[in-house]
Structure 1
Amino acid sequence: MNTWFAQTDAVGGSLGLSALVATLPLLAFFIMLLGVKARAHISAIVAVAVSILVAVLGFGMPWDLAAMSAVRGGLYGLLPIVWVIVMAIWFYQVTVLSGRFEDLRRTFDLIGGGDLRIQAILIAFCFGGLLEALAGFGAPVAITATMILALGVKPLKAAITVLIANTAPVAFGAVAIPITTAGEVGGKDAETIAAIVGHQAPLLAFFVPFILLFILDGVQGLKDGWLHAGVIGAAFGIVQWFTATYFAYQLTDVIACIVSMGVAVVFLRFVKPRGVAGVRERYGLPPLSEEGAKHELTAGRVWMAMMPYAIVVVIFGVANLLPPLVAWLKTTSPSIAMPLLQDRLVTAAGDPVSSTYSFTWLNNPGTFLLISGLVVAALYSIFNENGNYKISLGDAVKEIGAVMYRMRWSALTIVCVLALAYVMNYSGQTVAIGEWVASLGTIYALLSPTLGWVGTAVTGSDTSANALFSKLQVTAADHLTAQGVEGVHPELLLAANTTGGVVGKMISPQSLAIAATAVDMEGKESEIMKAVLPWSIVFLVAICLLVFLQTNVLSFMVNV
């Protein structure tokens, strides 16, 4: 068979012209999504078609190789990415169907001591982060917004609160699938990328509770609750740093959220919030009475509401830390050689390009979540407390089909975005863009997070942003290194893309629409956008500066 290799100057023998043509699939995607206002999956399908045309007509890739590249990317989008997200949402649904989620919501009423500012932080930041870790895809914003509204927070403030709170956890959302995707598409070790992200995101996490206090109650809120905000933010950030670096990175947000919530509970027992009466008066709420603070929740019901997340930690921990099991799980993922690609796709030196697909049917976070959910459903069916919480294994299994049906268009979008990424990667389109932007020199390291920010703002998904730009970031880093620029490692730029995407999510149309719907502000997304955009830009500038400093004076944060 005739072999084929990608050439980055395929269009007219010019790198610049090739890079310009290579942007057409991305432009098609963004124009369809933002200009034509097409649905995400339609936009992604159009972008895939454009990428194949550019690959064939512009970069000279045989049409069958271009089509098979799309198939290869789509397979990875389907398993593990779609599988992980479906299972994460299903796991959350198990807690809702059982009725235990309502007990969890009521638990927050007891924890905050009547201070709606602290309660809002615990719900939006800690619990919202836990939902992001397990489900993502808008679930944290929708769920926590309604919970905060119930506290008495005004709709606009509630929307702003949940959107800003849903920042630091995003990089490790849906059991860290954005980072796993960055490693797969960029061809680098996901654990190394996770560790570097774990040295960036916690700095955001520390400041988020302070910002939430300011949004909820202005300067007075900061005066009253700065100590509690600092304790919660520090606990979250420290645990996020440690878990991403030394433990199972897929569990980073799960553990950080549980620990920060636990620390807050203990701290609130000894240091009561100040100004509770004042904030309740400013919000037009009745004074807090001891009788009103009491609740029928028992310790057993609180434990049963929190138990699912403890089970997730145990199962993921065992699967990632028990050496014999880790070794066996690796043997359960057969490698499938992709037809055509395996035989004909080579590098310029004639070496085969790795295109095998690893069928990780067991050794992936989605399957671990399935096991966790079945265990939780079984325990809930056994410990049913006189029939007050009705769920069976049969009910839980049926819900998998319901979630799959509800996620069908989102799943198609993800599959197409990954297909787009692989066509662009294998045909040389992404590499051409990467080589060209590397000509910017050291300044590119400063700007690298903006790609993730733009990608997530447009697609609503840090995973999709990483699928689109990971290969580009790696190519840019390699060429900067070849030019003698020190400190710009591929893993650092992959982490920058991920962390940049974190602060782009709050301004994505998807997130804005979900928040507006949850707080009954449909049609007023622009108001929410105006309120959160300045915060998004401030966060982005901070991340850009941090990444630039990590290439030189803070390089120790990258050496993991």
Structure 2
Amino acid sequence: MKYTQITDPFGNLVLSALVASLPIIFIFWALIIKKMKGYKASLLTAIVALAVSIFAYGMPIGTALLSALYGAMYGFFPICWIIIGAVFLFNMTVRSGQFEVIRSFMASVTPDRRLQAILIAFSFGAFLEGATGFGAPIAISAAMLVGLGFQPIYAAGICLIANTAPVAFGAIGTPIIAAAKVSDIPAMAISQLVGRTLPVLSIVVPLYLVVLMTGFKRSVEVMPAILVSGITFAVFQWYSSNYLGPMLPDVVAGLASIIAMLLLLKCWKPQTCWRFNEEPPQTIDMSRKYTNLEIFRAWSPFIVMTIIVIAWGLPSVKDALNSIGHVKFHLPGMENSIIQANGSVLPIKPFELNFLSTPGSGLLLAGLISLPLLGLSFKSGLRIYLETLSQLRFPLITISSVVAFAFIANNSGMSITMAMALAATGFMFPFFSPILGWLGVFLTGSDTSSNALFCKLQYNSAEVIGVDPLVTVSANASGGVTGKMISPQSIAIGSAAVGLIGKEANLFRFTVKHSFIMLFVICVLTVLQAYVFKWIVPDYSTSEAVQTVSPGSAWTGYLILAGMVVLLSVVSAILISQNGKVKSVKQ
């Protein structure tokens, strides 16, 4: 049965937008007022969305349920699949005892919680965002901070806030590439303008984190580290995004910020060492000194992960892996079943089971390779993997439910209704443009999905009011990053990583104010770019878009994979041989 989308079911756009936003209002109410568990709130939100789509929008029950099923499937694969792989890798490091080495290394760099927050939540988290995205940086960084002695709520909260600056370039630039595909604006042009917007946040975020933890007075004591970390990250983020493209800004800027911090701390220390009043006593034995090789071994799972995931993010490698294993299929009854308001068929892509090329499979491979490097058996690895699945069972339900809601909203026309209400603001649309991106990320938990959802509308709306479409398309990506910290998916991931499962509402209340503050900053910057500082918008031609996003050759991918195998074999051989020497010495 075919369904024609309705974008204004009540003949009044404001009323229709209000009804369309009922699921969002409900989840805010459920998390903030009722303090409901995340998975329950998300499941009920999907049910509310189903009710609105069926009774207000007239969507057939079968089509609505299939939309929810498609979204839930996409929520599990690839999104949950990526998170499972990332948390599995971290749990392996903990179970093997190697996380104690990492803790000691970080503590030896600095025992100050302010500097550890900057180094791990901001710099290392940004590096992980560039390599993996999809919540993995939040899970890994927050868990590391808890291991170092941070209060769980602060560990998860500051990692969610710190994740703001790098999200637009996460997962090897996937959000920018998605925006380019949808809007027909070159990915390089979007990368350049986003890279001229987000560095403003990148400079401020380290200070923001420390002030949030300690207050401004205590922040002044570590101002050299705040400035070095933020400015270094911002400069390299700007340079990479403007001259290298959208794939490397987070990786390059994150590494540069880490190195700059380590070099600074070699020659400077704060006068006082700050810790939380309520934290347990320091349990790390500082008398134990680790060799460089031991430290390298402890970090080896993350090194292996980075090598693999960066390779997995290259189009040529994706082509090579997809040529080996890639299944596509349509859910029965979904193809060509939805007609858009303009009379054209809504293109519903087939569900892709790219079980080799998805980053989640790359993370699983990294875990398997890391088992012997960490001295773990494959039997132990299987046990840890099953424990990881049990640990994440409720967050998996949350994520799948939220994405199901997003697909219902998109397919029924609810998302378009909300977007049209914002676009109707005319001259003020550039101010509200980032709010669309924020809304999309809140709905889907992904800047990539938000860009895919709204960037075409951003383009068309900008043309109507006479603003360069690049401004509003880029604002969708930039505004979206501020919604990441309160997306139910991100809240679920952060809660799971630090042992706050069932207390997602507390974490939501911790971050929600900061989300709106940063969103307001992006809104103001977008207005200035649209009407005042027009020179900041790069020149571009839409004819470049096809060249920017063209896929690589599968044969090139095979060569890259071969090189990766050689590199990982060398690293593994060194570490395994060293493990054997250590065991023989102990015997």
TM bucket normalised to smaller: 0.7 to 0.9
Q: Deviations over 1:101-154 (max 9, x none)?
A: 111111123223x666534532443345556676245553354145255xxxx9
In structure 2, the CA distance between the partners of 1:117 and 1:58, relative to structure 1 (3 Å rule), is: closer
In 1: Cα distance, 2:23 partner to 2:181 partner:
17
| Partner of residue 482 from structure 2, selected from 490, 500, 524 | 500
| Partner of residue 268 from structure 2, selected from 249, 258, 272 | 272
Deviates more, 1:360-369 or 1:436-445: 436-445
In structure 2, the CA distance between the partners of 1:155 and 1:55, relative to structure 1 (3 Å rule), is: closer
In structure 2, the partner of 1:27 is 25
Task: Report the CA distance between 1:555 and its aligned residue.
Answer: 6.5
The answer to whether the 8 Å contact 1:103/1:302 transfers is yes
The answer to whether the 8 Å contact 2:433/2:475 transfers is yes
Task: Report the CA distance between 1:171 and its aligned residue.
Answer: 5.3
Task: Report the CA distance between 1:298 and its aligned residue.
Answer: 0.9
In structure 2, the partner of 1:210 is 207
1:140 aligned partner, one-letter code:
S
The answer to whether the 8 Å contact 1:23/1:433 transfers is yes
1:26 aligned partner, one-letter code:
I
Figure out how many residues of one structure are paired with residues of the other and give that number. 524
In structure 2, the CA distance between the partners of 1:468 and 1:411, relative to structure 1 (3 Å rule), is: farther
State the superposition RMSD in angstroms. 4.4
Deviates more, 1:56-65 or 1:99-108: 56-65
Q: Deviations over 1:151-174 (max 9, x none)?
A: xxx99988886665454345567x
Alignment of 1:366 with 2:360, yes or no, is yes
Deviates more, 1:34-43 or 1:358-367: 34-43
2:202 aligned partner, one-letter code:
A
Task: Report the CA distance between 1:81 and its aligned residue.
Answer: 0.8
In structure 2, the partner of 1:319 is 312
| Partner of residue 420 from structure 1, selected from 387, 390, 405 | 405
Give 3-state SS (helix, strand or coil) of 1:42's partner. Answer: helix
Task: Report the CA distance between 1:451 and its aligned residue.
Answer: 5.7
In structure 2, the CA distance between the partners of 1:26 and 1:198, relative to structure 1 (3 Å rule), is: same
| Partner of residue 225 from structure 2, selected from 222, 225, 228 | 228
| Partner of residue 340 from structure 1, selected from 333, 340, 345 | 333
Alignment of 1:120-519 (within 5 A): 120-129=117-126, 135-136=136-137, 140-145=141-146, 147=148, 149=150, 164-169=161-166, 175=171, 179=175, 197-212=194-209, 225-241=222-238, 253=250, 256-269=253-266, 271-273=267-269, 275-276=270-271, 278-279=272-273, 295-321=288-314, 323=316, 325-331=317-323, 332-348=325-341, 350-355=343-348, 356-381=350-375, 391-450=376-435, 463=445, 471=453, 474-475=456-457, 477-487=459-469, 491-502=473-484, 504=486
In 2: Cα distance, 1:348 partner to 1:509 partner:
34
In structure 2, the CA distance between the partners of 1:216 and 1:44, relative to structure 1 (3 Å rule), is: closer
In structure 2, the partner of 1:8 is 7
In 1: Cα distance, 2:117 partner to 2:478 partner:
29
In structure 2, the CA distance between the partners of 1:226 and 1:92, relative to structure 1 (3 Å rule), is: same
In 1: Cα distance, 2:31 partner to 2:217 partner:
41
Task: Report the CA distance between 1:400 and its aligned residue.
Answer: 1.9
In 2: Cα distance, 1:537 partner to 1:509 partner:
16
2:104 aligned partner, one-letter code:
R
Deviates more, 1:225-234 or 1:58-67: 225-234
In 2: Cα distance, 1:34 partner to 1:156 partner:
16
In structure 2, the CA distance between the partners of 1:295 and 1:376, relative to structure 1 (3 Å rule), is: same
In 2: Cα distance, 1:280 partner to 1:419 partner:
44
In 2: Cα distance, 1:541 partner to 1:497 partner:
9
In structure 2, the CA distance between the partners of 1:251 and 1:78, relative to structure 1 (3 Å rule), is: farther
In structure 2, the CA distance between the partners of 1:199 and 1:505, relative to structure 1 (3 Å rule), is: farther
Q: Percent identity between the aligned chains?
A: 26
In 1: Cα distance, 2:530 partner to 2:475 partner:
10
1:327 aligned partner, one-letter code:
D
Deviates more, 1:161-170 or 1:180-189: 180-189
The answer to whether the 8 Å contact 1:255/1:313 transfers is no
In structure 2, the CA distance between the partners of 1:260 and 1:442, relative to structure 1 (3 Å rule), is: same
In 2: Cα distance, 1:401 partner to 1:184 partner:
39
Task: Report the CA distance between 1:438 and its aligned residue.
Answer: 0.8
In 2: Cα distance, 1:45 partner to 1:280 partner:
41
In structure 1, the partner of 2:550 is none
The answer to whether the 8 Å contact 1:447/1:544 transfers is yes
Task: Report the CA distance between 1:39 and its aligned residue.
Answer: 2.2
In 2: Cα distance, 1:375 partner to 1:76 partner:
27
Task: Report the CA distance between 1:181 and its aligned residue.
Answer: 12
1:314 aligned partner, one-letter code:
I
The answer to whether the 8 Å contact 2:435/2:480 transfers is no
Q: Deviations over 1:306-336 (max 9, x none)?
A: 222222222223333473x343234443331
- The normalised TM-score by structure 1 is 0.77
1:346 aligned partner, one-letter code:
I
2:6 aligned partner, one-letter code:
Q
Give 3-state SS (helix, strand or coil) of 2:482's partner. Answer: helix
The answer to whether the 8 Å contact 2:70/2:404 transfers is yes
The answer to whether the 8 Å contact 1:452/1:498 transfers is yes
Give 3-state SS (helix, strand or coil) of 2:5's partner. Answer: coil
In 2: Cα distance, 1:395 partner to 1:255 partner:
35
In structure 2, the CA distance between the partners of 1:312 and 1:197, relative to structure 1 (3 Å rule), is: farther
Give 3-state SS (helix, strand or coil) of 2:483's partner. Answer: helix
Give 3-state SS (helix, strand or coil) of 1:358's partner. Answer: strand
In 1: Cα distance, 2:75 partner to 2:275 partner:
50
In structure 2, the CA distance between the partners of 1:372 and 1:158, relative to structure 1 (3 Å rule), is: closer
In 1: Cα distance, 2:238 partner to 2:217 partner:
30
Q: Which runs of 5+ in 1 are unaligned?
A: 284-291, 382-390
2:410 aligned partner, one-letter code:
N
Q: Deviations over 1:198-248 (max 9, x none)?
A: 544333222233345556776675665433332222333344445667779
In structure 2, the CA distance between the partners of 1:77 and 1:155, relative to structure 1 (3 Å rule), is: closer
In structure 1, the partner of 2:45 is 47
The answer to whether the 8 Å contact 2:433/2:472 transfers is no
Q: Deviations over 1:448-467 (max 9, x none)?
A: 444666787xx7x9716876
Task: Report the CA distance between 1:95 and its aligned residue.
Answer: 1.4
Q: Which runs of 5+ in 2 are unaligned?
A: 278-284, 541-587
In 2: Cα distance, 1:66 partner to 1:280 partner:
53
2:321 aligned partner, one-letter code:
L
Alignment of 1:548 with 2:561, yes or no, is no
Q: Deviations over 1:479-510 (max 9, x none)?
A: 3423434346563243034222246579x977
In 2: Cα distance, 1:27 partner to 1:534 partner:
16
In 2: Cα distance, 1:81 partner to 1:189 partner:
26
The answer to whether the 8 Å contact 1:336/1:357 transfers is yes
In structure 2, the CA distance between the partners of 1:315 and 1:72, relative to structure 1 (3 Å rule), is: same
The answer to whether the 8 Å contact 1:72/1:419 transfers is yes
- The normalised TM-score by structure 2 is 0.74
1:6 aligned partner, one-letter code:
Q
In 2: Cα distance, 1:78 partner to 1:537 partner:
29
1:405 aligned partner, one-letter code:
S
In structure 2, the CA distance between the partners of 1:280 and 1:82, relative to structure 1 (3 Å rule), is: closer
1:272 aligned partner, one-letter code:
W
Alignment of 1:75 with 2:108, yes or no, is no
